[in-house]
Amino acid sequence: MNNFIFHNPTKIYFTDEVEQSLEFELSKYGKNIVLVYGCGSVHKNGIFNQIVKILDKLGKNVAYIDGVMPNPTLEKLNSGVKIAREHKADFLLALGGGSVCDYTKALAVSINSSDDYWDRYFINQLEPNCDVVSLGCILTMCGTGSEMNGGSVITNEKTHQKIGKVFNDKRVFPKFSILNPKYTLSLSKYQMINGIYDAFNHILEQYFSKEDDNVSDYLAEGLMRSIISSSKIANKNPNDYKARSDIMWASTLALNTMLHCGKNGDWMVHMIGQAIGGFTNATHGATLSAISLAYYEYIMPYNIDKFKRFAINVWDIKDNKSDEEIAKLGLFAMRDWMSELDLCMNIKDLLVDESLIEDIANNVFILNGGYKELNKDEIIHILKKSF
């Protein structure tokens, strides 16, 4: 294993006793709270009113940033920074899914920044050089893992760039996150399955990455098996509480930095998916499911042994065949599972026109954590295979 430092400062409340947990945590911070939330579901299911009552009970002075979209934009970040600065925010509270959590982290590092925060954090990938406003999350949709990491993704609509920044500065991590599986039961099936695949792909991108056969790989295999099992149950019965609670915790563990210990990580599916999102505004999980099979089929020859292990340990492939044939059967099993969930399986369904493929490829950040470092022509090939 590579050397590593593991420090995750986020306190998790996995509970339906939201009021007690939130009251205890918010008592530690000042009066000026900014409540950040999305585009309407928190009103429909009554969660918003529940949280506002708690804030009123605590005597907090609350400002609101509403309408955070599935792919938060730089324009939305600019307007949020203005609100938070005028409110002299002491604490930011994210109420929603991964996009709201991502946005709130970007807000936390931008409020007191004297730099151009798009350039500093997302273009130049630098850490904060200012006071970071503390934040917490109340999760209503699982999949991204943003509730327990330092990641943030923002889209610049003018340049069609959707860029993620994983902050190492622990001040950016949520101080606490409240996970109540009941909050996820009102999601549409489309939201549920895309969240499931987002979490699964997070695990894949840490699993298929250079250093193999270490503790992180065994943890990853267990988490993948758990998600596969729970997803099949939830797909048939979205109200199955046990399955939804298992999915919620597995999604958090998939990207809370634990699986990354001792490994590099191959995030090219995310890089290509984010580039697609910058041009189409497509749902994040759908961009990943649309591109991933073509990507893994392309890189499989560069580490047949690991793909064979994936087939055997995750998908229970027992055939007495060659290593390459077993490896392929693992990807076939993954494809069948994705089809069963009714995930998006090609970029055409995301309204990607062939004329956009080269522009998308030009906006892909190329990373080198996997078995094969791609060039632009290879990215174009993968995009065409995904069409």
pLDDT tens digit string along 234-256?
A: 999 999 999 999 999 999 999 99
Stronger pLDDT, 235 or 40, i.e. the higher one: 235
Same domain, 161 and 254: no
Domain that holds residue 239: 189-385
Same domain, 263 and 337: yes
To which residue do tokens 């004329």 refer? 355
Looking at the 3D structure of the chain, how many domains does it have? 2
- The token duo for 98 is 């991964």
For 96, 227, 324, the CA distances from 341, given in Å and listed in that order, are 23, 12, 26
Whether the per-residue pLDDT at 371 is higher than 90: the answer is yes
For 6, 63, 71, 186, the CA distances from 374, given in Å and listed in that order, are 29, 45, 26, 40
Q: What is the CATH number of the domain that holds 289?
A: 1.20.1090.10
Whether the per-residue pLDDT at 159 is higher than 90: the answer is yes
Q: Assess if residue 255 is contained within a domain.
A: yes
Whether the per-residue pLDDT at 36 is higher than 90: the answer is yes
Rounded-to-integer distance, Cα 194 and Cα 289, Å: 8
Same domain, 204 and 72: no
Asked which of 166, 184, 202 is the last residue of a domain, the reply is: 184
Q: What is the CATH number of the domain that holds 50?
A: 3.40.50.1970
Is residue 371 within 8 Å of 263, Cβ to Cβ? no
Same domain, 278 and 376: yes
Same domain, 168 and 62: yes
Q: Assess if residue 6 is contained within a domain.
A: no
Same domain, 101 and 205: no
Stronger pLDDT, 375 or 214, i.e. the higher one: 375
Q: Assess if residue 5 is contained within a domain.
A: no
Whether the per-residue pLDDT at 362 is higher than 80: the answer is yes
Asked which of 167, 184, 201 is the last residue of a domain, the reply is: 184
Looking at residue 240, its amino acid is D
Q: Assess if residue 341 is contained within a domain.
A: yes
Rounded-to-integer distance, Cα 148 and Cα 260, Å: 13
* Torsion sign, CA atoms 217, 342, 239, 257: positive
Q: Where are the alpha helices (DSSP H) in the chain?
A: 18-26, 41-44, 47-57, 74-87, 98-110, 117, 189-207, 215-236, 241-254, 268-280, 284-299, 304-315, 323-341, 357-362, 376-385
pLDDT band at 91 (very low <50, low <70, confident <90, very high): very high
Residue 196 has what pLDDT? Answer: 98
Same domain, 325 and 377: yes
Same domain, 130 and 147: yes
Asked which of 149, 165, 184 is the last residue of a domain, the reply is: 184
Q: Assess if residue 1 is contained within a domain.
A: no
Same domain, 61 and 170: yes
* Torsion sign, CA atoms 276, 204, 368, 98: positive
Q: Assess if residue 154 is contained within a domain.
A: yes
pLDDT (average), residues 88-109: 98
Same domain, 251 and 347: yes
Same domain, 22 and 93: yes
Q: Assess if residue 3 is contained within a domain.
A: no
Same domain, 143 and 265: no
pLDDT (average), residues 48-63: 96
- Please state, rounded to an integer, the average pLDDT across all residues of the chain: 96
Whether the per-residue pLDDT at 40 is higher than 80: the answer is no
Rounded-to-integer distance, Cα 23 and Cα 203, Å: 33
